[in-house]
């Protein structure tokens, strides 16, 4: 959706090379939030540093509701250094959860999280949203969640140091 809107190529990060990235000033890397981490980000960070590209823009999709700002802020702090938080424009988009595509280990981890949150006595609004978000598979991918990133890229406003 983002590539089509911006008329730019979309590449699978598992197949992309430093040479392929070298032809661009700006690289947009999108991935999923997985077990509190950004799938493939370590590899992309290394390739970006070798590519000669000037800007890296990052987006992550996941099951956490966009409204859970404290959770999302903590996620970014867990995955990006202080320098990266300042220099890399980053966006989160709620998108859903697919138990059918998860590994057995991931399913067990999600079930354990669901049990822990279900047993919690004094649930916050964020806890209740999280409990609802991980209860079953769903896809709420929507252009409206990508719009801030698309607008940002269309505006050509990039953070520079």
pLDDT band at 157 (very low <50, low <70, confident <90, very high): low
Per-residue model confidence (pLDDT) at position 24: 92
* 3-class DSSP assignment, residue 104: helix
- Flag whether pLDDT at 11 surpasses 80: yes
Q: Residue 86's CB: how many other CB atoms inside 10 A?
A: 10
Q: Please classify residue 95 by burial: count the beta carbons closer than 10 Å to its beta carbon, then call 0-12 exposed, 13-18 middle and 19+ buried.
A: buried
* 81-108 mean pLDDT: 92
SS3 labels along 18-82: HHHHCCCCEEEEEEEEECCEECCHHHHHHHHHHHCCCEEEEEEEECCCCCCHHHHHHHHHHHCCH
CB 56 within 8 Å of CB 27: yes
Per-residue model confidence (pLDDT) at position 30: 96
- pLDDT tens figures, 113-124: 888 888 999 988
* 11-27 mean pLDDT: 91
Per-residue model confidence (pLDDT) at position 18: 94
Mean pLDDT of the chain, nearest integer: 89
- Flag whether pLDDT at 158 surpasses 60: no
CA separation for the pair 101, 103 (Å, rounded): 7
Per-residue model confidence (pLDDT) at position 64: 85
Per-residue model confidence (pLDDT) at position 161: 36
């Amino acid at each position: 959706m983002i590539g089509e809107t911006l008329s730019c190529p979309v590449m699978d990060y598992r197949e992309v090379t430093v040479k392929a990235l070298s032809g661009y000033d700006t690289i947009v890397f999108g991935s999923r939030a997985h077990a509190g981490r950004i799938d493939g980000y370590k590899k992309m960070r290394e390739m970006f540093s070798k590519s000669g590209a000037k800007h890296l823009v990052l987006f992550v999709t996941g099951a956490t509701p966009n409204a859970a700002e404290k959770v999302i802020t903590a996620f970014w702090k867990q995955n990006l250094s202080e320098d990266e938080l300042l220099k890399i424009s980053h966006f989160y988009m709620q998108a859903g959860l697919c138990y059918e595509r998860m590994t057995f280990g991931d399913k067990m981890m999600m079930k354990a999280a669901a049990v822990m949150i279900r047993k919690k006595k004094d649930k916050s609004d964020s806890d209740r949203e999280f409990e609802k978000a991980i209860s079953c598979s769903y896809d709420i991918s929507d252009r409206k969640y990508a719009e801030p990133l698309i607008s940002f890229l269309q505006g050509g406003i990039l953070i520079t140091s």
